[in-house]
């Protein structure tokens, strides 16, 4: 006679490590074309808990245009023709790079304006789900101080979401764990 047994669930497959093979596309890092006025590169690396660079992560960015409008059906405001607002870059060279423009401020919850920011999704080996963070800009100090999401983070951790000026744009490193771990949002 057989007895019914309940077997434990198995974990979901983690993302990666083959993201760099099938997911990037040639113009993925270009939210805007080269030569766009005011465009800059945002470059960075993804680090594991030991401080080692992760060479097979994938970064996706989603952002508003310079006037704070998204190319999305939930945003009824007309945006510029051809605005994609989406970028994708892998880290096989040790870094990711996204060529974009600084987004504008946009409406937030309860009528509070959100500071210009770029939404970032991180995919890497060992993760069951993407991690979500934001990139804010140091020139927007007044808007950053009033931003509801940034204001909800402990003051000593806010700096993990502020890009640093670089020669051709900005530097934004992502630390998955450890000292100076990047703040991630539960979405």
pLDDT tens-digit map of 1-16? 555 565 554 444 445 5
What was the pLDDT predicted at 149? 94
pLDDT tens-digit map of 45-67? 999 999 999 988 999 999 999 99
What was the pLDDT predicted at 163? 98
CATH class belonging to 19-175? mainly beta
Distance CA 46, CA 59 (A): 9
Mean pLDDT of 58-84: 84
Cβ density class 73-105: b for 16+ within 10 Å, e for less: eebeeebeeebebebbbbbeeebbbbbbbbbeb
Which band of pLDDT confidence, cut at 50, 70 and 90, is reported for residue 103?
very high
Q: Which of 107, 108, 113, 159 is nearest to 138 (CA)?
A: 159
What was the pLDDT predicted at 73? 75
- Domain positions in the chain: 19-175
């Amino acid at each position: 006679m057989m007895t019914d047994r309940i077997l434990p669930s198995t974990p979901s497959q983690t993302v990666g490590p083959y993201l760099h093979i099938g997911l990037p596309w040639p113009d993925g890092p270009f939210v805007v074309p080269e030569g766009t006025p005011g465009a800059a590169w945002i470059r960075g690396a993804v680090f594991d808990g030991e401080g080692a660079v992760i060479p097979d992560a994938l970064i996706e960015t989603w952002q508003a245009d310079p006037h704070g409008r998204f190319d999305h059906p939930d945003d009824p405001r007309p945006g510029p023709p051809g605005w994609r607002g989406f970028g994708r870059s892998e880290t096989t060279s040790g870094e990711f790079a996204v060529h974009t423009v600084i987004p504008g401020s946009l409406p937030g919850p309860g009528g509070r304006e959100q500071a210009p920011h770029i939404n970032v999704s991180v995919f890497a080996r060992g993760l069951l789900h993407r991690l979500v963070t934001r990139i804010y800009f140091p020139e927007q100090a007044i808007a950053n101080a009033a931003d509801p999401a940034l204001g909800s983070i402990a003051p000593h951790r806010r700096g993990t979401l502020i890009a640093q000026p670089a020669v051709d744009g900005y530097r934004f490193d992502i630390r998955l764990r450890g000292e100076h771990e990047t703040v991630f949002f539960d979405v």
